[in-house]
Chains A and B, each alone.
Chain A
């Protein structure tokens, strides 16, 4: 069993030695370079834009609040994201979480159904010929156009919003998964054939990992579309959620609140996209971008 030992050999115990002044200086230079290259440009650009905004909106008769005005108006909301005064009057944190919950339900359903349908369409030429025209037409329907019909079907606002997320996110997932399954290289199929993998083994050990980079690009487009759709859908259905918060703020002419909400929407959307990208990278071991 000498072979198996080679797996378990651990690295030698790290030597406890203070880094020399030279390495410290090197490290310092590296941090400095990173700061100059990565941090300074966005800070400069954002600062310049804020300044421009401040100058333009501080003039008398300006329709939108300047950043300083906005900060003043929304300070309570910023420092207190999780207050709860009952009803719709809750902090921005709760508003965002309510929206995220709907997205989580709708998107999870879309992932399960979308990947399953994508595999079916990728594997079966008959299913592809039958379903593809349907997909191509339905995927062009704007998310909000589904809302009235889902309200009619579910007779409740929350499931309708979840359905809108589902139906928005599912198309890129189906289409990318089916392309991924159809494009599995002949070599991998041959490996499966030589090893005589059965259907289940072939699915879990060859097909899913081989298609994973495609699947994850579909999932990434899907999460982006979900977040776009939820803000719009919530404006119509009301209740707690970042979308209705924006609509409510508009009706109350609290423009500063709208600006704050937009910043929240942007940051959360960016985080969702980055999260799915990160999961994809981990799952596919770097073969997905």
Chain B
């Protein structure tokens, strides 16, 4: 029974107070195995960030529950470390200090001072940031900040790594580079990862499964796509791979046919009206 490492059980999320309420999430069910890499994809406003925040414990579910490794989640904690889109490094601390803040807190009683220092340095080395330990976040590039954010999250030795559009604010080349790094690190550490993304290629390349969410409000999981591509994956080789392109097409079809965001123009296919055409942002 180790295949239910994380389970999200009929989670609802309602914002606002009666009678002005918005049901953002409606009966979300998801189970994740240990070591799996899951991507959650959907149009903006579909509540994927809300779902991630509930799993992180930053928001509470209106009903339903989240269980991680046999324990119910009801508050944030270092066993579920987050990497935010805007890196959220503390600007008054250096790269090294940003990581040690987390390491010193999480391993206060488990490691001595030298071990903690070595552990922080090891994690920074893993993301290739050993050269900039004493720089401030304002002195390094966006991609480097995100590396430090990943190092900080990994250094907490989380049971679950939560990535909230981690590469969204980066340019395409930096993004590809960091995706490769994350794949390498995940292969090495076998972390369980939950990643939110807008990017179809990113989802197919990195994930074991892609969770596709319907449009909000009342968003829920529409389809789950298993990505059975062998690892390690190479983006160049996969570019011509028919299987890869098949998965890509499946996700695109879900996002752009089944869950179209905008109303079709009057001349468009009238035989196939879109139910969520006027969906508001959650």
Q: Is the CB of A212 within 8 A of B58?
A: no
CB-contact partner of B78 in A188, A190, A196, A206, under 8 A: A196
Check A195/B58 contact, CB under 8 A, given A187-B88, A212-B92: no
Pick the contact of B133 from A1, A7, A191 — CB < 8 Å? A7
Chain B positions within 8 Å of A187 at CB level: 84, 86, 88
Q: Does A6 contact B (CB under 8 A)?
A: yes
Query: Are A3 and B90 CB-contacts (below 8 A) given A190-B76, A194-B78, A285-B136?
Result: no
Q: Is A201 engaged at the interface, CB distance under 8 Å to the other chain?
A: yes
CB <8 Å contact, B130 and A209: no
Determine whether the beta carbon of A190 is less than 8 Å from that of B58.
yes
Q: How many A-B pairs with Cβ below 8 Å?
A: 70
> A4's contact among B78, B88, B121, by CB below 8 Å, is which?
B121
In the complex, chain B residues whose CB is within 8 Å of the CB of A3? 118, 121-122, 125, 130
Q: Is the CB of B76 within 8 A of A284?
A: no
Which chain B residues numbered 79 to 118 have a C-beta less than 8 Å away from chain A? 80-82, 84, 86, 88, 90-93, 101-102, 105-106, 114, 117-118
Tell me the smallest distance from the CB of A1 to a CB of chain B, in Å. Answer: 6
User: Closest approach, in angstroms, between the C-beta of A98 and any C-beta of chain B?
Assistant: 37
Which of A4, A6, A191 has the most B CB atoms < 10 Å from its CB?
A: A191
Chain A CB within 8 A of B77 CB: yes
Asked if A287 is at the interface (CB within 8 A of a chain B CB), the reply is yes
Whether, in the assembled complex, A197 has its beta carbon less than 8 Å from a beta carbon of chain B, the answer is yes
Contact-residue size bin, chain B (C-beta under 8 Å from the other chain): 20 to 34
A33 at the A/B interface (Cβ < 8 Å)? no
Collect the chain A residues with CB atoms within 8 Å of residue B105's CB: 195-197, 201
List chain A residues, Cβ under 8 A from B75. Answer: 193
In the complex, chain B residues whose CB is within 8 Å of the CB of A123: none
In contact, B76 and A193 (Cβ under 8 angstroms):
yes
CB-CB contacts below 8 Å: B43-83 with A:
56-58, 75-78, 80-82
Measured CB to CB, the nearest residue on chain A to B77 is A196
Considering only residues 165-220 of chain A, those with a C-beta below 8 Å from chain B are 185, 187-188, 190-191, 193-197, 201, 205-206, 209-210, 212
Write the nearest CB–CB distance from B188 to chain A, whole angstroms: 17
Given known A-B contacts A3-B130, A187-B88, A287-B91, A194 and B82 have beta carbons under 8 A apart = yes
Is the pair A285, B92 in contact by a Cβ cutoff of 8 Å? Answer: yes
Q: How far is the CB of A11 from chain B (nearest CB, A)?
A: 13
Question: How long is the Cα–Cα vector from A188 to B93 in the complex, in angstroms?
Answer: 12
Task: Report A-chain residues with C-beta under 8 Å of the C-beta of B156.
Answer: 195
A-facing residues in B242-279 (Cβ within 8 Å): none
User: Are A284 and B92 in touch, CB under 8 angstroms?
Assistant: yes
Which chain A residues lie closer than 8 Å to B102 at the CB level?
195
Contact A195 B106 (CB under 8 A): yes
Contacts of A7 in B (CB 8 A): 121, 133
Q: How far is the CB of A242 from chain B (nearest CB, A)?
A: 37
- Give Cα A209 to B137, complex, Å: 15
* A190 pairs with B82, CB closer than 8 A: yes
Q: How far is the CB of B164 from chain A (nearest CB, A)?
A: 10
Contact B88 A190 (CB under 8 A): yes
Query: In angstroms, how far is the closest chain B Cβ from the Cβ of A191?
Result: 6
Residues of A contacting B77 with CB < 8 Å?
A: 194, 196
Task: Give the B-binding residues of A (Cβ under 8 A).
Answer: 1, 3-4, 6-7, 185, 187-188, 190-191, 193-197, 201, 205-206, 209-210, 212, 284-287
Task: In the A-B complex, list the 10 residue pairs whose CB atoms are closest, starting with the nearest.
Answer: A187-B88, A3-B121, A193-B76, A209-B92, A194-B76, A195-B105, A285-B92, A287-B91, A3-B118, A6-B130
> Can you report 7 residue pairs joining A to B where beta carbons are below 8 Å apart?
A1-B114, A1-B118, A193-B75, A194-B80, A195-B105, A212-B92, A287-B138
